C-alpha cells in the first residue's frame, strides 16, 4: 500500500495574530505570508510551487492593516509608497466598496481568483475572523520577521511574519514601517539584513532564526 503525502501551501497575511492559528491548523504546510495575503506580490514565490502542491489555502483576515492602507488611500486620499500603490492598492482602484469589511471580503475574492489562475481548483479560501481565534498574549514590542517560504516556525503573537522571496518583501516592509510604525526587523541572513538596514535606516535590523 502506498502512502501519499499531501503537500499544502498556505498564503496568508503577515499579521501577528494569525501565528498560533496557522501553526495549529497547518503545521505541515509551506507558508507564504505578506501584507494582505497579496498574491500580486508573491508571483515569483508561488511559481516555484506550481505543479508541486495538492492544496492551496488562502487565509486573509478581518481587521487587516493592509486593507486599512488600501481604504485610506482610495477613500481618504492618504498617500503610501509608490511600490504599495503598484503592488497592492491598484488592484482595488476600479472596485466598489463602502466599508472596511466589504473591502476585506473583496480582497479575499480577488486573491482567490489570482491563485486559481496558477493552481486551478486546488485553491480554497477562508476569511479568518480575528475576534474568534485564540491569540496568545504578549507584552513584547511588535517586530517583523522576514524569511523565505518555509514551514511555519513557532512565532509569538508579537511577531509579524513576511515569508517570501527576497525580491517580493519590500511592499510589505513599506506597510510595516511607514503605515504600522514597526521599528524592529529580523532577517534570517546577513546580506538581506544589510539591504533592509540601508532601505530603512531609522529601523533596528538584526539577524536571527526562530
Where residue 1 falls among pLDDT bands split at 50, 70, 90?
Answer: very low
Q: How far apart are CA 61 and CA 33, in angstroms?
A: 12
The reported pTM is: 0.95
* Distant-in-sequence contacts of 84-87, Cβ < 8 A, 24+ apart: 84/171, 84/174, 84/175, 86/171, 87/38, 87/40, 87/41, 87/171
Where residue 182 falls among pLDDT bands split at 50, 70, 90?
Answer: very high
102 class by beta-carbon count within 10 Å (0-12 exposed, 13-18 middle, 19+ buried): middle
Helices H, strands E: what count in the chain? Answer: 7, 9
Q: Which residues are annotated as a binding site?
A: 13, 61, 64
Contact 37, 107 (CB under 8 A): yes
Q: Which three cell numbers stand for residue 40?
A: 500580486
Buried b (16+ CB within 10 A) or exposed e, 154-182: ebebbbbbbbbbbebbbbbbbbbbebbeb
List helix spans (H) across 5-99: 19-25, 43-47, 65-76, 82-87
Helix (H, G, I), strand (E, B) or coil at 83: helix
**Per-domain residue ranges of the chain:** 8-207
538584526: which residue's cell? 206
Q: Which residues are annotated as a binding site for Zn(2+)?
A: 13, 61, 64
Residue 2 is predicted with a pLDDT of: 37
Residue 161 is predicted with a pLDDT of: 97
Give tens-digit pLDDT for 59-115.
Answer: 999 999 999 999 999 999 999 999 999 999 999 999 999 999 999 999 999 999 999
Where residue 197 falls among pLDDT bands split at 50, 70, 90?
Answer: very high
* 3.40.605.10, 3.40.1050.10, 3.40.50.300, 3.90.105.10: CATH of 8-207: 3.40.1050.10
25 class by beta-carbon count within 10 Å (0-12 exposed, 13-18 middle, 19+ buried): middle
Q: How far apart are CA 93 and CA 171, in angstroms?
A: 17
Give the Å distances, CA to CA, from 48 to 32, 43, 146: 12, 9, 18
Residue 5 is predicted with a pLDDT of: 61
- The residues pairing with 159 across neighbouring beta strands, listed in sequence order, are 143
Q: What is the pLDDT of the chain when averaged over all its residues?
A: 95
Amino acid at each position: 500500500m502506498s502512502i501519499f503525502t499531501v503537500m499544502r501551501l498556505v498564503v496568508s497575511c503577515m499579521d501577528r495574530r494569525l501565528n498560533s492559528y496557522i501553526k495549529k491548523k497547518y503545521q505541515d504546510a509551506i507558508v507564504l505570508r505578506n501584507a494582505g495575503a497579496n498574491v500580486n506580490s508573491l508571483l515569483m514565490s508561488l511559481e516555484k510551487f506550481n505543479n508541486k502542491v495538492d492544496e492551496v489555502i488562502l487565509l486573509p483576515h478581518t481587521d487587516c492593516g493592509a486593507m486599512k492602507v488600501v481604504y485610506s488611500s482610495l477613500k481618504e486620499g492618504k498617500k503610501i509608497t509608490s511600490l504599495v500603490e503598484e503592488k497592492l492598492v491598484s488592484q482595488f482602484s476600479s472596485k466598489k466598496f463602502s466599508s472596511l469589511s466589504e473591502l476585506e471580503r473583496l480582497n479575499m475574492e480577488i486573491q482567490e481568483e489570482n491563485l486559481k489562475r496558477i493552481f486551478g481548483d486546488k485553491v480554497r479560501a477562508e476569511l479568518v475572523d480575528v475576534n474568534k481565534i485564540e491569540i496568545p498574549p504578549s507584552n513584547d514590542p511588535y517586530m517583523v520577521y522576514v524569511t523565505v517560504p518555509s514551514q511555519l516556525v513557532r512565532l509569538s503573537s508579537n511577531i509579524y511574519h513576511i515569508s517570501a522571496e527576497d525580491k517580493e518583501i519590500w511592499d510589505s516592509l513599506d506597510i510595516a514601517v511607514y503605515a504600522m510604525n514597526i521599528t524592529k526587523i529580523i532577517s534570517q541572513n546577513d546580506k538581506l539584513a544589510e539591504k533592509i538596514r540601508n532601505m530603512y535606516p531609522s529601523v533596528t535590523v538584526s539577524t536571527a532564526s526562530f
